[in-house]
Amino acid sequence: MAVERTFSIVKPDAVGKNVIGKIYSRFEENGLRIVAAKMLQLSEEVAGGFYAEHRERPFFPALIEFMTSGPVLVQVLEGENAIAKNRELMGATNPQEADAGTIRADFAESIDANAVHGSDSPASAAREIAYFFAASEICDRA
């Protein structure tokens, strides 16, 4: 299996609950390395560009309001099968439907405040990493 990179966000609810370290531990304990990371306050423009694929959806205004409600951590995760592995660790979008032991089951409250984001495909991962990080900000730890 190939070593991949994926893009991840610790969302404002999880930063507010002070569980950044617990979420980072889930990544590290499951074979994903953090190869880039920074804390940011997203503007409406940056959040809207990031979630551009959802612009016409009814939940878009609530999504942008939530994502700009406080600081987030953005990171690049690297490891075998990293994109699917991270989605598995996150659990379902709605925490009520997330498998026990997943990040969303353990740390999320609602479909809006759902603790984490993770890229859903190689194309999304490439776009999302480049949206937040310059190549010089990603550290090769292999």
On whether 59 is known to bind a ligand per the annotation, the reply is yes
Q: What is the chain's Cα-based Rg?
A: 14
Name the residue nearer to ligand RTP (CB basis): 54 or 139: 54
Binding site for ligand RTP (CB under 6 A): 54, 59, 63, 93, 111-112, 114, 117-118, 120
On whether 94 is known to bind a ligand per the annotation, the reply is no
What is the rounded CA–CA span in Å between residue 30 and residue 65? 31
On whether 68 is known to bind a ligand per the annotation, the reply is no
Least Cβ distance, residue 117 to ligand RTP (angstroms): 4
Give the number of other Cβ atoms within 10 Å of residue 109's Cβ. 14
Least Cβ distance, residue 118 to ligand RTP (angstroms): 5
Name the residue nearer to ligand RTP (CB basis): 109 or 138: 109
Instruction: Determine the residue type at 17.
Output: K
DSSP 112: S
What is the rounded CA–CA span in Å between residue 28 and residue 13? 21
Q: Which residues contact 113 (CB under 8 A, 6 or more apart)?
A: 11, 12, 13, 66
Tell me the catalytic residues.
Answer: 117
On whether 18 is known to bind a ligand per the annotation, the reply is no
Least Cβ distance, residue 142 to ligand RTP (angstroms): 25
Summarize the annotated binding site for ATP as residue ranges: 11, 59, 87, 93, 104, 114
